[in-house]
Amino acid sequence: MSAKPLYIDEHPLFAERLRAIRLLYTDLDGTMLGIGGSLFIDSKRRPSLVAAEAIVSINSACLEVVICTGRNRIQAAEIARLCGWRGFIAELGCVVVPDRGAEPIYNTGVWAPDSLRAGETPFEAIDRVGALDALREAFPGKIENHTPYHTNREATHVLRGSLDINAARQVLGELDLQVEIVDNGVIHPIATTLVDVAEVHAYHLMPAGVSKSSAVALDLTRRGVDPAHAMASGDSVADVGIADSLALGVVMGNGLDDASVAEAILARENVALTRGHRSEGWAEMAISWLDAISHE
């Protein structure tokens, strides 16, 4: 195992496996999208077509892409439609939509079948047991809703701030439902109401036992796709974990802004970095993929 993360063009497994990949699970924010969540802005806030052109090239090669994001179902569905893609996974694996227009499947992990009341969504159940109120009380000024992404949620609460994750899990452990908190990486919001927080992270409150990785494994089975033909791209620890179910994982260069991401990469033999950040990194990955396919 390398002492530091390797780039795609340095990693021996990528030369061997990329040519067999036919399906990509991709994160959006901090990965395919540039600053501000725009497809047409790069990591230096400049107008750019690099990611859009990569999408066109991937679609032209008849390769499949499934969005796997923390965003809600409405947002994921619109982005998938605009990109010419179909199925997607939203809310960090809690909401799986097999195809365009299909009914969502709620993935509630370890929760018992009767955990949800009649007509209740997982989001409403987490609110009912007081998860967010408990965190606000335990960490005053350190956590808030991640505006505007906290609206129209069905399964998870999306927050931003700076928390001791282990301490937060102890707080949540007192609730009547098993609620997990997941760190979705460093973010750069324009403004917050947080107090004395230098590095802001995005967090999700979600049913325990759910992850992007488990949702991808379920989706692969539903599609009948061999994991050897699929890879993932992202920028967070949650994204790196998807590689456990697939042939390869690619992390954007900006992922290293979070030290825990480097640790997660080094713990796996099938994950590599892009030199570019955000949309430039995603395009770099796409070019490497297409080049490998063309030489199959």
d(CA 105, CA 73): 11
Domain extents for the chain? Answer: 21-107+211-294, 122-207
- The predicted pLDDT at position 258 comes to 87
The DSSP call for residue 163 is -
Q: Indicate the angle between helix axes 131-138 and 165-172, nearest 10 degrees.
A: 130
**Three-state DSSP string of 229-277:** HEEEEECCHHHHHHHHHCCEEEECHHHHHCHHHHHHHHCCCCEEECCCC
3-state secondary structure of 202: strand
Residue with tokens 């079948």: 113
For residues 272 and 251, the answer to whether their CB atoms sit within 8 Å is yes
CATH of domain 21-107+211-294: 3.40.50.1000
- Residue 123's nearest CA partner among 151, 142, 163, 165 is 151
Residues 6+ apart with CB under 8 A from 68: 25, 26, 27, 88, 89, 93, 212, 215, 216, 232, 234, 239, 242
Backbone phi, psi, residue 147, to 5°: -65, 135
- The predicted pLDDT at position 246 comes to 98
- The predicted pLDDT at position 187 comes to 86
pLDDT along the chain (296 residues), means of 10: 86 95 97 95 95 98 96 95 97 93 91 94 97 96 93 95 96 97 85 93 94 92 95 95 96 93 96 98 98 87
* DSSP string computed for 32-68: IS-GGG-TTB-TTS-B--HHHHHHHHHHHTT-EEEEE
- The predicted pLDDT at position 226 comes to 97
Q: How would you classify the pairing of strands 201-207 and 179-186? A: antiparallel
- Residue 29's nearest CA partner among 20, 17, 41, 46 is 41
- The predicted pLDDT at position 1 comes to 52
β-partners of residue 133 are: none
